[in-house]
Amino acid sequence: MKRVILVLVLMLSVLAFSGNLVKAYTTLEEPLAKELFDLFEAQTGIKVEWVRLSTGETVARLEAERENPQASIWVGGVGLGHIEAKIKGLTTPYKSPLALRIPAGYRDPEFFWIGLYIGPLAFATNNNRAEELGIEPPKGWFDIIDSDYRNMVRVANPNTSGTAYNVITTIYHLFGDNEDLTFMYLHHLDRNVNMYTKSGSAGGKDCAIGETPIAIGYLHDLIRLQKNGAPITITIPEEGTGFEIASMSLIKGGKEPVEAKKLYNWILGKDAQEIIAKWYVIPLSPEAPKDKVEVPIETIRTVDQDFVWDAANRERLTDRWNNEIGR
C-alpha cells in the first residue's frame, strides 16, 4: 500500500511540474525572447525553456525530431519557414480566438501559423567606412551589385537563414519570376559579398561596428542598431523590397500542448505586443501600440511575393545556390 501511495505521489509531482513548463524554439533576437518569456513566466507561473535558432536551423531540427519532438512551440522566424514546416507535416493547426484578429493575408488559412510582425529587407551602410572608402550608400538592388562595392557587402547564407532566402525570392519576384535572371543577379551580388553569415541579423551587427561597410538585413534589426548609436545609414531598395512575416506555430506532437497554447495566446495579447513593438517591427496584432511603428508598411514599396511558392521551392532554390554560388 505504501508503495502504491509513493508511486501516486511521484506521478502527481511529475504532472504538477510538467504543467508549469513549456519548451520552445525561437528565432527572435535573444534579448527580445528573454524579455517576452520572462514576463510570461512572471504572469502565469509557466517557465519557458527556450533555444534560439535561425529559421533554417529550426526547420531542420523539427525534421530530425519528427518522431520525438523536443519542443512544443516555435516563436518567431521567417514565415516561409513556418509554411515549409506545415508542408512537411511538422506543425499542427490551432485556431486561437486572438488569431482571428490578424488580417487574413498574414495568417495561414488553416491556422497552422500566425503572423506576428512584418519586416522589410533593407541595406545598412557604415558611415565611417563609407567616408574612408569614398562610397555612397547603395540605393537599390541594382546599385548594390555595382563594382564600386566589390567585397564590401555582408549577407546571410540561405541554408541557415530565412532572411537570406528572402533575398533570393525578392529578386525572383522582382525579375518577374524568372529564375535564370535571378541567379545571374545572385552571381553578380556574390562578387561583392565578403562573407555569408549564419544568422540574418549578424551582417547588420558587423556593419554597426565597421567590420563590413555594407550589410543586407531586415529593417527593424537595422533601425534598432541605429537607435543604439551605430553610425549607419539605412536605405530601403528603391525598386521594391521583399519582407518577412515573422510567425508562430505549434509543433506537431509537442509534449506540452496546453502550456504551448497558453503561450501562443499570450504572445498575441497586449502585454507581449507592447514588448514586440519596442523592437521597431511592424506588428500585425491590433493589440500592438500603433504609435511605436517607425516606418508604416504603407510607405514602403514592396514586391509581390507568393509565400506558398517560395516555401515549396526553398530546398530546390537553395540547392541551386549551393551548386552555383555557395561558399
Q: What percent of the chain has pLDDT over 70?
A: 93
| pLDDT at residue 203 is higher than 80 | yes
Residue 292: per-residue pLDDT: 67
The torsion angles phi and psi of 26, rounded to 5 degrees, stand at -135, 145
Which neighbouring-strand residues pair with 113? 249
In the three-class reduction of DSSP (H, G, I as helix; E, B as strand; rest coil), residue 71 is classed as coil
Per-residue pLDDT at 9 exceeds 60: no
Quote the CA–CA distance of 138 and 275 in Å, as a whole number. Answer: 32
What is the residue whose three cell numbers read 530601403?
236
| Residue 274 grid cell | 507592447
**CA 164 – CA 186 distance, rounded (Å):** 11
Asked if the domains 22-117+244-293 and 119-243+310-325 are classified in one and the same CATH topology, the answer is: yes
**Is the model's pLDDT at 49 over the cut of 70?**
yes
Q: Classify domain 22-117+244-293 at the CATH class level.
A: alpha beta
Q: How confident is the model at residue 10 (pLDDT cuts 50, 70, 90)?
A: very low
Rounded distance between C-alpha atoms, residue 144 and residue 150, angstroms: 9
- Average pLDDT score over the chain: 90
Convert the pLDDT of each residue in 17-26 to its tens digit: 446 999 999 9
Domain ranges, ordered by start, for the chain: 22-117+244-293, 119-243+310-325
Q: Are the C-beta atoms of residues 212 and 154 closer than 8 Å to each other?
A: yes
Give the domain 119-243+310-325 fold. D-Maltodextrin-Binding Protein; domain 2 (3.40.190)
| Contact (CB, 8 A) for 212 and 201 | no
What is residue 19's predicted lDDT score, i.e. its pLDDT? 62
Does the structure show a pLDDT above 70 at 5?
no
| pLDDT for res 293 | 66
109, 131 contact by CB (below 8 A): no
C-alpha 145 chain-centroid distance: 25
Flag whether pLDDT at 282 surpasses 80: yes
Q: Residue type for 50, please?
A: W
Q: How far is the C-alpha of 139 from the C-alpha of 233, rounded, in Å?
A: 11
The pTM assigned to this predicted structure is 0.76
Predicted confidence (pLDDT) per residue in 255-269, tens digit: 999 999 999 999 999
Name which residue leads in pLDDT, 279 or 227: 227
- When mean pLDDT is compared across 66-70, 77-81, 271-275, the lowest value belongs to 77-81
Highest mean pLDDT among 159-168, 274-283, 315-324: 315-324
How high is the pLDDT of residue 181? 97
pLDDT tens-digit profile of 206-222?
A: 999 999 999 999 999 99
Indicate the pLDDT class of residue 103, thresholds 50, 70 and 90.
Answer: confident
The set of cell numbers assigned to 198 is 549564419
Residue 169 has pLDDT above 50, yes or no: yes
Amino acid at position 172, single letter:
Y
Distance CA 202, CA 154 (A): 9
The residue written with cell numbers 519586416 in the block is 119
Q: What stretches of the chain adopt beta strand conformation (E)?
A: 21-26, 47-52, 73-75, 91-92, 113-126, 153-156, 193-197, 214-218, 232-235, 243-251, 282-283
Half-sphere exposure for 8 (CA within 13 Å, toward CB): 5
| Cell numbers standing for residue 72 | 512544443
The Cα 259–Cα 151 span in angstroms is 47
Residue among 91, 88, 140 at smallest CA distance from 112: 91
